[in-house]
Structure 1
């Protein structure tokens, strides 16, 4: 007589949660859950796991990157509950044809839910892609990161996924991942508190006329803070 130690549905939920935790070892993760919840691991038991429980389960383990953020842990818990999916509350897209917004930037936003900036670069299930100009902002794409999961270097694959963007906004990103984004000519911007994606991008819009040096470099214009020195030299 064989004893089932984990149901198929529970195994799928654990695999999805492992992906959300950025490089967690799914086997070790399942074993820790089994130690905590008791065998067999069922959907009913996973549905009772809290964020605090998951943090305790992962504490002291080397199965998770040191910079795993609370948003990723919350997403992992939702996967364990069976409530999260890649198409979960996906916002509607805006019509856009290349060149319609002259002088605009293409910006990626790491997102776990709806139209929110609430994702970790290495674990968010999708990047929302916006075309951002001084007076116009359009959500033009939502790119699933599922295709990056089998890559030899997931962070490089994620950078390639958004390689047409100049900026990526994230709630969290590790140092090595940030370096890989920069090498792909994508400027990472951390917003630890997260929030509504469009609110953050409105702040970007507000400085396009007088960009700080890092943004001026991306736009290929002179930073306003440096223009007074150029004027003095010309005089």
Structure 2
């Protein structure tokens, strides 16, 4: 395939989408986009891209891939996963400083927004949450190049010291990997400000927590610093 002129934004989208579809790669993904939309892809044409277009493009080159990964790639290609704000700075935290607290990982792509798809989020913001305080203790950047054969297990490992995962979107197989490391995934499709969701969690912690959450609270937390 001859070189395709791409804007910096579109080239970044395609590169990020290819990262979560490593068996496809950039060149093959461009062939799929050519089949579905024509080249060069633009912001306008990518906005019209649908899941079926990815599955059917280039004679079904992506048809056998897991639906959740295709959805994550689609979100990136359509520009729904952005990085308009840098992550916030973590706050000092000493283990045991917030008695009765739990640790919550939040999938994020921009600032302190809950806008991350599990398979495509660029970072996990990790908070220590008690009834009295919400403290951001770590920003864990994600490098899928270290995932070897299983991206979902790699990402789950990054948050294995947490008790809850807040995420905008997560597929069934990915959720199973998260549960396997004893983290409870909570999908909040509307997204929004992370701290708003955590304040709602504080209300639950202060009241009558459901049995699964009460059990988490009794178990306590592991030391900060996720798997790398």
Q: Normalising to structure 1: TM-score of the pair? A: 0.75
Q: Note if contact 2:144-2:151 (Cα within 8 Å) is conserved in structure 1.
A: no
Q: CA deviation at 1:92?
A: 2.8
Residues 124-155 of structure 1, C-alpha deviation per residue, up to 9 Å, x if partnerless?
A: 11111111010100112111111455421111
RMSD: 3.0
| 1:16 equivalent in alignment to 2:13 | no
Equivalent position of 1:204 in the other structure: 201
Q: Note if contact 2:19-2:144 (Cα within 8 Å) is conserved in structure 1.
A: no
Count of residues paired in the alignment: 210
Q: Note if contact 1:112-1:119 (Cα within 8 Å) is conserved in structure 2.
A: yes
Equivalent position of 1:226 in the other structure: none
| 1:66 equivalent in alignment to 2:62 | no
SS in 2 for 1:169: strand
Task: State the structure with more CA Rg.
Answer: 1
SS in 2 for 1:155: helix
Q: Note if contact 1:159-1:180 (Cα within 8 Å) is conserved in structure 2.
A: yes
CA spacing shift, 1:161–1:74, aligned 2, 3 Å: same
Q: CA deviation at 1:205?
A: 0.7
Residues 20-44 of structure 1, C-alpha deviation per residue, up to 9 Å, x if partnerless?
A: 6x678334322112334545x4xxx
- Could you tell me which runs of 5 or more consecutive residues in structure 1 were left unpaired when the two chains were aligned: 222-235
Q: Distance in 2 between matches of 1:123 and 1:46?
A: 21
Matches within 5 A, 1:1-235: 4-6=2-4, 13-19=13-19, 25-26=24-25, 27-39=27-39, 41=40, 45-53=41-49, 55=51, 57-60=53-56, 61-62=62-63, 65-67=66-68, 73-78=74-79, 84=82, 88-147=85-144, 150-209=147-206, 210-220=208-218
Q: Normalising to structure 2: TM-score of the pair? A: 0.77
Q: Distance in 2 between matches of 1:197 and 1:63?
A: 34
CA spacing shift, 1:201–1:23, aligned 2, 3 Å: farther
- Could you tell me which runs of 5 or more consecutive residues in structure 2 were left unpaired when the two chains were aligned: 57-61, 220-228
CA spacing shift, 1:68–1:192, aligned 2, 3 Å: farther
More displaced 10-residue stretch of structure 1: 148-157 or 185-194: 148-157
